[in-house]
Chain A
Amino acid sequence: MNKLNLLKPNKENLNTYLYIGSFLFFIAVLDVFLGSFFQINITSFLPNFVGFILPLILGVVGLHLIRIEFSGIPKLDLLNKNINTNTFNAILTLLIIFVIIKSIPPIMSWFIIDANIAGDTKEACTGTGACWTYIKIWLRRFVYGMYPNELQWRINISFFLLIALAFVGLIPSEKLKKFLTLYYVIIYPIIAFILIYYLISGGAFGLEWVETGAWGGLSLTFIVSFFCLIFCFPVGMFLALGRRSTLPTIRYISVGFIEFWRGVPLITVLFMSSVMFPMFLPEDFFMDKLVRVIIAISLFEAAYVAEVIRGGLQALPRGQYDAAKSLGMGYWKMHIFVILPQALKLVIPGIANTFLALVKDTPLIFVVGLLEIVGMLNLAKTNPKWLGFAMEGYVFAAIIFWIICYAMSKYSYNLELKYKTER
């Protein structure tokens, strides 16, 4: 057996190094694990500070000992290459592992173990963890706002229909395929508007009228994002074309419009729509608060969409324009059939980002007094019967928003891959 050199591990005593190293590493992790999960301090005989730093030292030494290049064991090589390239990396690795181990028990106990969900009053929450009873009782309000309970089926049905109608494009029928764009750009928004106007709002066909002030919660988030998404896209497209136009008047107007909206925060735009805009309209003219908000957000996001689409238009080689023109196409024909399909394909990620920003901006409508989910949370938080559960509410809303946004970003990534054409 060769002499062991603990400072410089080498291949000759591979197994010895491996055993000592992994043992030390194991002890380090075990110490933290026991301390965190079972409150057992196996190093209690040591001074406080030493006991605290000991796992790190043991771990670093352990990882140092198993850092052997070209050991011939594939798994060990992979481990060294990925988390254990040098001492600095080893320390970071250990810190991350320790933080994860340390943070699991408190998070688990808050979310599940010590949490309460039974009962329907505040008194049911006795544990030290989260009080999901609060979410359970208020769930209806968080999803439907102040919409009357017995009428909520109308929201459900219209959302169900809207989702079902959105999947029409998946039915492959060669004959109808050329109408798909027309359907999505013009017919679908109209159907959506009619559905929401007559079904959710009511007031006709014997359905009870529900004013928009009562709408709220997650369903309002969806309604606002949905309409803004539908409206801002065509407006943004025209603005982008306007900015690239050779006609100076149109170009300057588009530039001015885009730069104006991009330069101001959304909150001031909403302020404008609520306090300044009514001054600009005839006195007897009434426009619903929700409609004003949707118009304001749509124009605001349209400016961002316009800039994204302009990026796509600029990225297209000149040859595409020349080729289309040489075929005798006019301005609109050229753009609809040659330029826009290619440009839009290029900017899918950018557009998806703008739409994500739109969804994340919807909570701002609290400025004009519309309460979507975050607004409802703030309302519920101040209810005297349910004081002190702000954390649960925000965590709940954060989870919902996170799922929506993460799903959207993953979907856009897939779209990007799907439409990626070799150029």
Chain B
Amino acid sequence: MNIKKIIPQLVTALVVILIFGFFTYNAQINMDNRGITFGYGFLSQESSFDVQFSLIEYDGSHSYARAYLVGLLNTLLVAFIGIIISTILGVIIGIARLSPNYLIERSAAFYVEFFRNIPLLLQIFFWYFAALRALPLPQDADAIFGVSFLTIKGLFVPRFVWENLDIFFYSIMAAIISIIVIRNYARKLQENEGKQLPVFLISSGLLIVLPLLTFIIGGVSLNFEIPVIKQLSTTSFVYEGGLGIPPELIALTLALALYTATFIAECVRAGIQGISKGQKEAAASIGLTPNQVLKLVIMPQALRIIIPPTTNQYLNLTKNSSLAAAIAYPDLVLVFAGTALMQTGRAIEIVSITMFTYLSISLSISLLMNWYNKKIAIKEK
């Protein structure tokens, strides 16, 4: 260790410590002046505010910690739905961008260039304030397939009413486990004896037959509760029963999915283009069918390129879901860093908890990604 290496480190560390010290010192003084003490005890206090849309039971008598949980679950819900839609859309658009059909390729390119270059917030506002506001009032809405209603108050769909749902879940789990066993057995069979089992047929059969059996003999039953319009007064109508999806959620997921799909499409395109043509030809020349070429040769290699940037996009989507605050969808930022902060005035605690939540989601996923990248990296000799 020579002096040239120690001095810069010392100086940097000192500067960082000084800045932190300065901030803490000021925060201490400011809080003393306002008569508040630092601490997370407020989390167990009664929140006394209501949230419009919640996945778990919640009202004003619950604690701030519960309000935090409500916000977090709402954020995760948006992220989850958004990720599913954007993946499906992104894969389709990404493949369409490689289509030999000129019109399809141009349409996909148009989609990507169009949605990518408009700020997400503007898109959310557009869907929420302009597009969804053009929907009919509850009393004027036409039924979609006779059971669903898309209105200015949101989307109302039938709710599933299950009986003995747990047995149904067990049957699906049993099906999945048996599929894994059969797949392993089939692989062994092929490696040892060269015989092939129709694994796909067997697995899809299992997935359909086992849950169906529970309906017949397991006592599982499924009913639909269809939303019914009800008149409250001469001008006010509401839907009762069924599942109501608020327009905020629709606008947010729609905008997030359409926006993120453009980035996922580019990842997919880059991944497929990254596989050299020789791979396909080599695979075909050793006698693999086109399906096998795609499944055994192209996809495993393309996924290696596609998955890391796509995970990044999923993370971006999750972080972008915080824009929900702009259209009053009760996500983590709105419920906790908005309403709860206004009521308690505990800026440092609440903002730090909110940031820490997002930070831990991001860091855990990037750790997972690093592990995955190491696992799938081509082992070069």
Considering only CB atoms, which chain A residue lies closest to B349 in the complex? Answer: A276
Contact B104 A280 (CB under 8 A): no
| Cβ contacts under 8 Å, A250 to chain B | 8-9, 12
Chain B nearest Cβ from A391, distance in angstroms:
4
Q: Pick out which of these stretches binds chain A: B48-56, B218-226, B275-283, B316-324.
A: B316-324
| Cβ contacts under 8 Å, B361 to chain A | 263
| Cβ contacts under 8 Å, A381 to chain B | 129
| Cβ contacts under 8 Å, B323 to chain A | 267, 364
Check A89/B322 contact, CB under 8 A, given A265-B358, A276-B348, A394-B129: no
Contact B103 A268 (CB under 8 A): no
Contact B129 A272 (CB under 8 A): no
Contact A390 B129 (CB under 8 A): yes
| Cβ contacts under 8 Å, A282 to chain B | 26, 29
Check A279/B319 contact, CB under 8 A, given A249-B9, A401-B117: no
- Please pick, from B5, B12, B102, the residue contacting A82 in the complex, using a CB distance under 8 A: B102
Contact A279 B363 (CB under 8 A): no
Chain A nearest Cβ from B254, distance in angstroms:
14
| Cβ contacts under 8 Å, A374 to chain B | 119, 121-122, 125
A377 to B124, CA, bound (A): 13
B61 near A: Cβ within 8 Å?
Answer: no
B344-375 toward A: CB 8 Å interface, digit per residue (1/0)? 00011001101100110111001000000000
Contact A366 B326 (CB under 8 A): yes
B27 near A: Cβ within 8 Å?
Answer: yes
B330-343 toward A: CB 8 Å interface, digit per residue (1/0)? 00010001000100
A50 to B11, CA, bound (A): 80
Cβ < 8 Å to A, chain B residues 1-52: 5, 8-10, 12-13, 16, 22-23, 26-27, 29-31, 33
Chain A nearest Cβ from B46, distance in angstroms:
23
Considering only CB atoms, which chain B residue lies closest to A398 in the complex? Answer: B118
| Cβ contacts under 8 Å, B118 to chain A | 360, 398, 401-402, 405
A360 to B319, CA, bound (A): 15
B164 near A: Cβ within 8 Å?
Answer: no
Considering only CB atoms, which chain B residue lies closest to A283 in the complex? Answer: B30
Q: Pick out which of these stretches binds chain B: A36-44, A92-100, A142-150.
A: A92-100
B207 near A: Cβ within 8 Å?
Answer: no
Cβ < 8 Å to B, chain A residues 401-423: 401-402, 405-406, 409
B292 near A: Cβ within 8 Å?
Answer: no
A397 near B: Cβ within 8 Å?
Answer: yes
Chain A nearest Cβ from B105, distance in angstroms:
9
A10 to B315, CA, bound (A): 54
A266 to B121, CA, bound (A): 12
> How many B residues are at the interface, by size bracket?
35 or more
A272 to B349, CA, bound (A): 11
A363 near B: Cβ within 8 Å?
Answer: yes
Contact A247 B122 (CB under 8 A): no
B101 near A: Cβ within 8 Å?
Answer: yes
B184 near A: Cβ within 8 Å?
Answer: no
B209 near A: Cβ within 8 Å?
Answer: no
Contact B319 A89 (CB under 8 A): no
B230 near A: Cβ within 8 Å?
Answer: no
Contact A268 B351 (CB under 8 A): yes
Check A83/B326 contact, CB under 8 A, given A265-B319, A268-B337, A401-B117: no
- Please pick, from A268, A276, A378, A395, the residue contacting B322 in the complex, using a CB distance under 8 A: A268
Contact A82 B101 (CB under 8 A): yes
B120 near A: Cβ within 8 Å?
Answer: yes
- Please pick, from A93, A249, A272, A378, the residue contacting B13 in the complex, using a CB distance under 8 A: A249
Check A401/B119 contact, CB under 8 A, given A93-B101, A247-B9, A249-B12: yes
Contact A390 B348 (CB under 8 A): no
A363 to B326, CA, bound (A): 11
Contact A276 B351 (CB under 8 A): yes
A398 to B129, CA, bound (A): 14
Chain A nearest Cβ from B33, distance in angstroms:
7
- Please pick, from A247, A264, A363, the residue contacting B355 in the complex, using a CB distance under 8 A: A264
Enumerate 20 A-B pairs (CB-CB under 8 Å) in ascending A order.
A82-B100, A83-B103, A248-B9, A259-B366, A266-B319, A268-B322, A268-B355, A271-B337, A275-B351, A279-B348, A282-B26, A283-B26, A360-B118, A360-B119, A362-B119, A367-B325, A378-B129, A390-B133, A398-B118, A406-B113
Give residues in A with beta carbon < 8 Å to B: 81-83, 85, 89, 92-93, 96-97, 246-250, 253, 259-260, 262-268, 271-272, 275-276, 278-283, 356, 359-364, 366-367, 374, 377-378, 381, 390-391, 394-395, 397-398, 401-402, 405-406, 409
Besides the contacts A361-B119, A398-B123, what 15 more A-B pairs have beta carbons closer than 8 Å?
A: A81-B100, A82-B102, A85-B100, A93-B101, A96-B107, A97-B103, A263-B359, A276-B352, A366-B326, A390-B130, A391-B131, A397-B122, A401-B117, A402-B114, A402-B118
Shortest 8 CB-CB contacts between residues of A and residues of B: A405-B117, A263-B362, A249-B9, A265-B319, A263-B359, A280-B23, A360-B119, A265-B322
